[in-house]
Structure 1
Amino acid sequence: MTNFNRPPDVVAAIQRTIEAEERLKNDLVRVCCWIEERHSIQPVKIELQRHHGCADNAVAHVVPLARDQATRRTIRGEAETVLRALGWVVKPEGRDIRSIYGRTQGRSQHDRLRYYVEIENIFRSSQVAGPNDL
């Protein structure tokens, strides 16, 4: 493997970005589980789009993978609300994007309910308006 001899601050920034990406993937699964439990829609699949070079806490677009337009709009609105409550910023801009996919498939019912409760607790314990308040 090539040794690039990067300065420590660059290495730290790269590590922060990698950790943020992993947290986003985990949060996306949590969001999918929460929506699935809330609406009894199975399975829930969401595509998150991020801009190349975006801030670590930024998401460009939330794209529910559902056929029905009304369902897509509902899921998108709720998913964006939950992502904001989890500390993400939804910031659509006109730049190139890349996608991250989240789905509930393969998650145990225990995990799904735990994720649902975690997100509900975030709404209860914070000043963030939940989907029921919109």
Structure 2
Amino acid sequence: MTFQIHRTPEELAAMQRSRDAARQLDVDARDVANWLDAQFPGMLVFLEVQRHYSCEDYDIAHVEPRVTDRPRRHEVREAAELALKSLGWKLNPEGRDVRSEFYRPLASAHARLAATARVIKALKTAETLDDAPTPTGENDN
């Protein structure tokens, strides 16, 4: 006996958006891991990205880099968070249960360069937007 679950078009669209966001996180987090490896050579072991089970599509709960130089872990985490925010992710540490995904830098030199360039471009774009004047002509900084 097979049971069919009937979903509305809106539900199906929401499910597809969530799948797309999960795929995008894989790409973005792997690119950030490559960028971190370039910024902090030989220090990154892996990058852990945690998400709440019922989070919004582009929310992440925590970013935890595992590094060989423990005293610099906070510096690496701040860089990772800034990079992920620049790529469109929102940090939302709500204190609920999380699931983790782990990312390591890629082996291919070409892929590493492309990933690093993509993150650098996102950081520069975000920096430019942060420096843009507000409608009143003043910066929020």
Q: Structure 1 length as normaliser, TM-score? A: 0.86
1:36-95 CA deviation, whole Å, 9 max, x = no partner? 011212654111111111000100000112253323212110000000000000111111
What residue is the counterpart of 1:34 in the other structure?
Answer: 35
Following the alignment from structure 2 to structure 1, what is the Cα–Cα distance between the partners of residues 17 and 70?
36
Aligned ranges for residues 1-134 of structure 1 at < 5 Å?
2-41=3-42, 44-105=45-106, 107-126=107-126, 127=128
Structure 1 counterpart SS, 2:67 = coil
What letter is aligned with 2:94?
Answer: E
> Structure 1: which 5+ residue stretches go unaligned?
130-134
Following the alignment from structure 2 to structure 1, what is the Cα–Cα distance between the partners of residues 26 and 6?
29
Q: Is the 8 A contact 2:31 2:115 kept in 1?
A: yes
Offset of residue 128 of structure 1:
5.3
Which structure's relative contact order is higher, taking Cα pairs within 8 Å and 6+ residues apart? 1
Q: CA RMSD in A?
A: 1.8
Structure 1 residues 112-121 or 36-45, which shifts more? 36-45
Following the alignment from structure 2 to structure 1, what is the Cα–Cα distance between the partners of residues 31 and 78?
15
Amino-acid identity (%): 34
Following the alignment from structure 1 to structure 2, what is the Cα–Cα distance between the partners of residues 81 and 128?
14
Following the alignment from structure 1 to structure 2, what is the Cα–Cα distance between the partners of residues 111 and 42?
19
